[in-house]
Amino acid sequence: ALLFFNISQFVSAYRLLQFYKIHQPGISYRFNLRLYYKGMFYNLFLPGGIGGDAYKIIALKNDDNTYKQLTTATLLDRVNGLVVLLLIISLLTAFVAIPGFEKLLSLLPYFVLIGLPCYLLIIYFYFKPFSKILPITVFLSLLVQGFQLLSFYCIVYSLQIDAGSFVQYAVLFFVSSIIAALPFSIGGIGTREL
């Protein structure tokens, strides 16, 4: 689980690098990976994922870029991951019913069908420099979530949880990934568990 989790973070850092390279082509993967893990550390005690992102933006700011450019790149990386997460959740919910959430989850595929093209069009028309990296970043987002799922599976397997419940737990895991990124608590503590 630890191995798969870290592979997912290596891929996620590489995805973020694709966004940063639009305005800062000289940034290296090694530097960005260190920055990424430092950002994860700051996320432990700052609200949601905002603290680590703010740290990365401040650390990358130089004469060749602006805070607006770096914030846009960071935000688009987050949205890219969110779109893929919603796509995965909507696919998984086709195979499982979660009591109490049937109505909401039945609407999710429609949101994805409408939201995905809207996302692509917004990027194309309003953030044109980033449109050329969308295919690779969407693919990298799928890889990130795939390795996250493998990590999650290893944990569930080690706890000897019934394999028949795996898809239900996977849906909850991915939904909790979205909730934990929202700034509801310090470092997202308790939100994923809730």
Return the minimum-mean-pLDDT range out of 107-111, 117-121, 148-152, 184-188. Answer: 184-188
- Measured distance CA(75)–CA(81) in Å, rounded: 10
Whether the pLDDT of residue 189 is over 70: the answer is no
Read off the tokens for 140.
Answer: 């990298």
- Measured distance CA(181)–CA(166) in Å, rounded: 23
**What does the pLDDT read at residue 122?**
92
CA 13 vs. chain centroid, Å, equals 11
Choose the most confident range, by mean pLDDT, from 9-13, 40-44, 114-118, 131-135: 9-13
Average pLDDT over residues 179-187: 67
DSSP string, 116-172: HHHHHHHHHHHSHHHHTTHHHHHHHHHHHHHHHHHHHHHHHHHTT--GGGHHHHHHH
Query: Residue with structure tokens 């996620």?
Result: 12
CA 161 vs. chain centroid, Å, equals 26
Each residue of 87-118: pLDDT tens digit? 888 888 877 776 777 777 778 778 888 888 88
- Torsion over CA of 20, 26, 30 and 32, rounded to 10 degrees? -20
**What does the pLDDT read at residue 86?**
87
**What does the pLDDT read at residue 184?**
66
**What does the pLDDT read at residue 93?**
81
- Rounded to 10°, the helix 134-158/67-92 angle is 50
Read off the tokens for 122.
Answer: 């917004």
**What does the pLDDT read at residue 89?**
86
Return the minimum-mean-pLDDT range out of 25-29, 54-58, 173-177. Answer: 173-177
Query: Could you give the percent of the chain with pLDDT greater than 90?
Result: 47
Whether the pLDDT of residue 187 is over 60: the answer is no
What number of CA atoms fall less than 13 Å from residue 74's CA on the CB side? 23
